[in-house]
Amino acid sequence: MKIFLYDTFFIFNSVTKMGNIEAPIIGKDALGRKVEDLSVVSWWGIDRKEIEWYPKIEYNKCSSCGLCFVTCGRRVFDWDIESVKPIVAHPYNCMVGCNTCAMLCPCEAIKFPDKSYLRKVTTKARVVKKALAIVNSIVLNSEKEKSKT
Ligand code: SF4
Ligand code: SF4
């Protein structure tokens, strides 16, 4: 059985949610899917609100295209009808390490902290060590199950 590191992120998040807090629904994304308040779910054991990873908009560059608003599946952005601009309404719903909206923005108006900040946070949370421990326990359990059959 092959398990990729990314799978463990999903498993860990599920475990965290089941073990501790049920995240409340904060609204719907642009496609009408329910979105949870992920700011209450810790990130690899660190309070999400202690991690300053979220988009910042440089409004002087923003052309109001709306791409960030419609593509983010975590409802980080809301849309200010009066100014016709996005606003970062739920910053801690942003997935740590994601910068899709910044990549998509045609005006380079969205900024994130640099990679060194991300490295620091990942090291502090000992993400790789924890992920590998999860992978090892999954492999061990699966081998135990196999030996029973
Ligand atoms: S994608 Fe960029 S230009 Fe378009 S609304 Fe968002 S911030 Fe503004
Ligand atoms: S980085 Fe990803 S999760 Fe965060 S606001 Fe942009 S698209 Fe949404």
CATH label of the domain that carries residue 79:
3.30.70.20
- 3-state DSSP assignment of residue 24: coil
C-alpha 95 to ligand 1 mean position (Å): 18
> Is 143 part of any domain?
no
Nearest-angstrom CA–CA distance, 142 and 144: 5
Instruction: Give the chain's domain count.
Output: 1
C-alpha 90 to ligand 1 mean position (Å): 16
pLDDT for residue 100 is more than 90 = yes
Closest ligand to C-alpha of residue 55 is 2
Q: Higher confidence at residue 144 or residue 37?
A: 37
Mean pLDDT, to the nearest integer, of 79-88?
96
Which mutation among 54, 57, 70, 112 tests ligand 1's pocket best, with the greatest number of atoms within 8 A of CB? 57
Atom from ligand 1 closest to the CA of residue 85: 5
Residue at token pair 């799978």: 7
pLDDT for residue 12 is more than 70 = no
Q: Please state the pTM of the whole predicted model.
A: 0.81
C-alpha 70 to ligand 2 mean position (Å): 11
The domain in which residue 79 lies consists of: 5-137
